[in-house]
A and B are shown apart, each in its own frame.
Chain A
Amino acid sequence: MSQLLLDVNGLTMRFGGLVAVNKVNLKVKNRQIVSIIGPNGAGKTTVFNCLSGFYIPSEGSVMFNGKEVAGLKDFQISRQGLVRTFQHVRLFSKMTVIENMLVAQHRHLNTNLMAGLLKTSSYRRLEQEAMDRAAHWLEEVDLLEFANREAGNLAYGQQRRLEIARCMVTQPELLLLDEPAAGLNPNETKELDELIVRLRDEHEISVLLIEHDMGLVMGISDHIYVIAQGTPLADGTAEDIKNNPDVIKAYLGEE
Chain B
Amino acid sequence: MTETLLYLIQQLINGLTIGSTYALIAIGYTMVYGIIGMINFAHGEIYMIGSYVTFIVIAGLVSMGMVSLPIILVVALIVAVVIASTYGWTVERVAYRPLRGSNRLIPLISAIGMSIFLQNYVVLAQGSRDVALPPQISGGWTFGDPAVFEVSFSYMQALIWIATFVTMVALTLFISRSRMGRACRACSEDLGMTNLLGIDTNRTIALTFIIGAALAAVAGLLLGLYYGVVNPFVGFIAGLKAFTAAVLGGIGSIPGAVLGGLILGVTEALTSAYFPSEYKDVVSFSLLVLILLFRPSGLLGKPEVEKV
Contacts and interface: CB of A to CB of B under 8 A. Distances in A.
Direct contact of A and B (CB under 8 A): yes
A80 interface: no
B308 A15 contact: no
Q: Is the interface of A mostly helix, strand, loop or mixed?
A: mixed
B305 A86 contact: no
Nearest to A49: B308
A15 B305 contact: yes
A54 B306 CA distance: 8
Chain B binding surface SS class: loop
A158 interface: no
A96 interface: no
Interface string A49-66: 100001000000000000
Interface size class of B (residues with CB under 8 A): under 10
A189 interface: no
A7 B305 CA distance: 26
Interface string B287-308: 0000000000000000001101
A45 B308 contact: yes
A49 B305 CA distance: 12
A45 B308 CA distance: 9
B50 to A, nearest CB: 39
Nearest to A86: B308
Interface in B245-276: none
A54 B305 contact: no
Interface in A45-91: 45, 49, 54, 86
A43 to B, nearest CB: 13
Contacts of A86: 308
B304 to A, nearest CB: 12
A49 B306 CA distance: 10
A42 to B, nearest CB: 16
A190 B308 CA distance: 27
Contacts of A54: 306, 308
Nearest to A52: B308
Nearest to A54: B308
Contacts of A15: 305
A49 B308 CA distance: 8
Contacts of A49: 308
6 contacts: A15-B305, A45-B308, A49-B308, A54-B306, A54-B308, A86-B308
Interface of A: 15, 45, 49, 54, 86
